[in-house]
Structure formats: structure tokens, C-alpha cells
Structure 1
Amino acid sequence: LSFLLCVVWVAALCSFIVCNVDSMLFFPSASAENYVTFALTLPDLPELSVCLWLRVEASHVDPVYRRLPTSLLLDSRWHHLCVLWSSIQGRFWHYSDHRLTSSGSNFRKGWEIPGGGSVVLGQEQDSVGGGFDASEGFAGQVAGFRVWNRVLSPPEVEGVADGRACTTSALSLDLKTEQKHLYSPGQKTPACY
């Protein structure tokens, strides 16, 4: 199967579950070809917040992984996730569906994610922009993907999840504004719905 990247305008979807989302990526199957990259250069990152909506069919996941804590996300429903990290504080936070589900301290304090690199959705990178393996691919839907170069406050995380507030994405890595920077090797012309 060739890669099917769907950039979908989902205004109608907002009235159901996914709110304040303008576009969506669809990964029909896990493969080494089903991924997208943002053609942008990243700055050094001493702090980071990543939020997105995610929908995964349990049938797309190897049975070994179904026993992991992530299995709560494998129910074919939309889930909102935010992961925040601060090198300055040496802390991380993980929010799932409006709730702080885990946090930790003494994690990479004083460390910085080096600039450059690449942002890839749908695959795990073994090297910058490559080294993909079909067994590490993602199958499902991603919407409302946004990245910030700071730690969002709890009210900001709640606002993004509820669709009440859309904090400006300082890194401009959001699907709405960066569609022109998305690249998919599996299909020359993305299919749009």
C-alpha cells in the first residue's frame, strides 16, 4: 500500500470529540514508508511541550504491546495527550485526557535537546530523518499536533485539551500552519478530504 496522508479539515469533527483542531494525519498501516516530516530546522530546546489528539485501533498493535499501560489509548477513541519537559527544573509531566497521569523529577536536568534534527510523525528514527523499521511504525490518526519551546502551565494544557484556548505554538509546528512543510515519501500528492 502506498502511503495515504490525509490532511483533513475537521470543523465538523469539533462538535463530536476533537475540539479546536483544523487538520488531521491518517496513517493507514504501520510501515517504513508511512511517515511525515516537518521540513523545518529546530532550535536548541531546554524545555518542550508536545500536545496532540490520537486515535488508534487496537487491531493495529502487536499483542505484546497491548499489555503495556498505553493499552488505555488503544480503544478506537480520540485521546488528548500532552508531554512536557523542563531541563531547567529537571522534571517531566504527562497528561492524558485532561488528567496528569505521571510526572517525575531529576530527569535530564541541565540537558538540552540539540538544535537541527527533524520532526517525524508515524515512525521512530534510528538516525536523523531515517533508519525506519516497519515494526516501529504507527497506524492511526493524529490531529491537533503542536509543539512549544516552553512548558505549558496546567491551565494551558487544560485549555488546549478542551479547545477553549489554543496557545500560540512558539515553534510553528502545528498541522494547520505547516501543511506546506509536510513531506511524505510514500505519496507525491497527499490525499485530502
Structure 2
Amino acid sequence: MNIVDILVIGVGLSMDAFAVSVCKCLAMKKMDIKKALVCSLYFGVFQALMPLIGFLLGSGFKNVVSSIDHWIAFVLLGIIGINMIKEAKSCDVVNDSMDVKTMLTLAVATSIDALAIGVTFAFLKVSIIPAVSIIGLITFVCCFIGVKLGSVFGEKLKSKAEIMGGVMLILIGTKILIEHLFFQG
């Protein structure tokens, strides 16, 4: 897996958090830079942390499944992508609270997919520290932009972002499968 793949996965994974950031902005009485930074930091940290946890879990059993790792990557990325597309819905569940409990809940909920990606990274022997750093940074930037754009474009932008993220993950999974089946013997 190369840097472009990691960048695309980072953008794809960040779309759930981006969409929630847009919704957070819609729910805020007044959007300010501090709230945008706090929101972005929560999502960025958890999008980096979850694939690291998944990688550590996946590393424990990667030798057992190394002959089918490309299929696992394809299926996991496909399922995550399809779920993101299906779940492109309204901002009704997001409120204006920025308390720790609310933000942790949102950050964990939007980063569960990243846990599965981390397992996939273990199978594909991805250099995990650069990968999770890139994913966390991309998510931070996307969420900051999401909070800012949420005040301008709102609901229309949210569902399109989740659909785009889902399509990106499906395409990366397909690319991994094709590369392994046709170009690596």
C-alpha cells in the first residue's frame, strides 16, 4: 500500500467525522474558532487511535490469514463503504453540546470503521505510525473545514460527504484485491 492509498483511505475515513462536524456547526448557537479546533481535535485523535488499535489486534492473527488477507481487506473496506453510503442521513442526532461525554461519543462512533481499517493494515504490512498520523491529520483538517463549511452549506454537504467517503473506501478495497489477484501472482 502506497502513500496515495493511505491519503485516499484517510479522506474516506474522515468523511463520517466531516459530516458530523458539519452537523455540529448547524447545531451550534455560535460557531467560533475554539469550538472548531476542539471538534476537529477529538475526531482527528480518534481517527488516528482506532486504526492503531485495529493494527495491534490484527497483528496478532495476521499469519493465520495471510493467504486471504486481500479478500479480508476487500470485504472490510466494501462493507464499511456500503454502510457509509447507506447511512448518509440527517443531522437530527447531533446537538450543540461540546462536553467531553458528547464529543467522546461522537468521536468513537465516527471512528469505529477506522478500527477495521487498522486490522486490514496489519494484514497488508502497512507502516502504521505514518499511516495513522496521516489519517489523524487529514481528519483534523477535514473536520475543521466541515465546521466552517457547515455554517454555509449545511445539510446538503453532509450526505454527499458520506457517500463520497463510502465510494472511496470501496474503490481502495477493489484496488487491493485486483493488485493481489492479477499483479502479485
**TM band (smaller chain):** under 0.3
Task: Give the structure with the higher percent helix.
Answer: 2
TM-score (norm 2): 0.26
TM-score (norm 1): 0.25
Structure number with greater CO (CA < 8 Å, separation at least 6) is 2
